[in-house]
Amino acid sequence: MSSRHYIRGAAAVGLAVGLCACHGNTVRQPHVPNHPGDFDLRRPPCEAAPRVDGRSSDLVIRYLGVGGLYIEWHGVSLLTAPLFTRYGPLQVAFGEIEWDDDAIRRGLEGLPLETTRAVLVGHSHYDHLADVPPILIDHAPLASLYVNRTGARMLAAFPELSGRIVVLEAHGDPWMWLADREGARLPIRARTLPYDHAPHWLGMHFAKGEIEESWDDWSGRKLRAMKEGKTFAFVVDSMSNDGAVLYRIYYQDASGLPAELPGDRPVDLAVLTIAAHQSVAGYPETLIRETRARHVLVIHYEDFLRDSGEPLRMVPTLTDKKARRFLEAVEREAAGREPSLRGPDPCGCGPCGAAWSMPLPGEWLRFRVPHE
């Protein structure tokens, strides 16, 4: 082993060990108004909320875990950063990419993927991109993929995805109308916002950098070889037939702050990751304030370095105290927003307040769109 590879391996081990050092498990009162006591993720007091009937014009979301969402609007749907395969810390440090087909099928169970026309991935770490090839090829064959250039180069190993990948850096216009693999336009537009991905632990940044050459095979590739590439947030607008914005989602799949944000209208729902938030000064307060977000969906909070069948606990290095401070910041910055435009209806099982929701993996949420 070369000294360079030894140093990288040692750093990966250090990161993996550090990421196992501390975990939070509990969202404490007064931050759980939808439950009478503290919410222990290891022993939720209820099952993840199933899908409920509502208006055809409602926006429907299912939290898939980590950075993953299923978002449905007017008969079409999109996915964000879907990941269901679980790797332990040593596998992350030294293991190879090897997705779990059974875990993927379980994670996608109950989703009407025949409606899925787009997949959005904000950066190319393994926990956001590694499951995308089998999902696109075997489960969502009508969907296009929107990903950074590094991700597109890695996915060049899959000829089945030829013509289905939109490279985010190559799109010239600020706004892009999402389209399926046949080019049919969806009633959804999106805008990308670049930002710097937060360090993971003690300033260490896992798999940072870009892929310069296209891959011809994933066989034998290490997880840590899946480089981050450029990191993007998405502003996603649900549109009316006459081109008006009816509902705006801000989504990012890593902690960080874009240099600028579109300010032409408030964000109805900001989807923000809590993992590594403490590494970014002013996050999430600045983002919520500048987007004028009316409600925050807190994601990427659960430990994805363990089997999904084990009891939930928070992502490594996220303690109960750090989670509480994040939620307090959200509540402070989102105070005073118009109540009729806030929150899912119903709230769901996961911790949920007036300003934010923290859904359990697999939980369905329904958001009312104010005007048609």
Q: How confident is the model at residue 339 (pLDDT cuts 50, 70, 90)?
A: low
pLDDT for the residue 249: 97
Question: Does 58 map to a domain?
Answer: yes
Q: What is the pLDDT of residues 164-173, one digit of tens each?
A: 999 999 987 8
Segment 203-238, tens digit of pLDDT: 788 889 999 999 999 999 999 999 999 999 999 999
pLDDT(38) > 90: yes
Residue 124 in domain:
yes
Residue 201 has pLDDT above 80, yes or no: no
Domains in the chain, number: 1
Instruction: Answer yes or no: are the C-beta atoms of 223 and 129 closer than 8 Å.
Output: no
If you average pLDDT over every residue of the chain, what do you get?
90
| Alpha carbon distance 331, 323 (integer Å) | 12
The answer to whether position 372 is within a domain reads no
Contact call for residues 295 and 319 (beta carbons, < 8 A): no
Domain of residue 169 covers: 3-367
Q: What's the pLDDT tens digit per position in 98-112?
A: 999 999 999 999 999
CATH number at residue 127: 3.60.15.10
Is 261 or 165 the better-scoring residue by pLDDT? 165
Where b means 16+ CB within 10 Å and e means fewer, 310-323 reads: eebbbbbbbbbebb
Write down the H helix ranges in 188-300: 285-291
State pTM to two decimals: 0.92
Quote the pLDDT of residue 337.
67
278 three-state secondary structure: helix
Distance, CA of 282 to CA of 301 (rounded, Å):
19
Contact (Cβ atoms closer than 8 angstroms) between residue 61 and residue 347: no
In a domain, 204, yes or no: yes
With pLDDT > 90 as the criterion, what percentage of the chain qualifies?
A: 75
Give CA–CA dist 332/288, Å, rounded.
Answer: 10
Give the pLDDT score at 4. 47
* Beta strand pairing call for 231-239 and 185-195: antiparallel
What pLDDT score was predicted for residue 234? 97
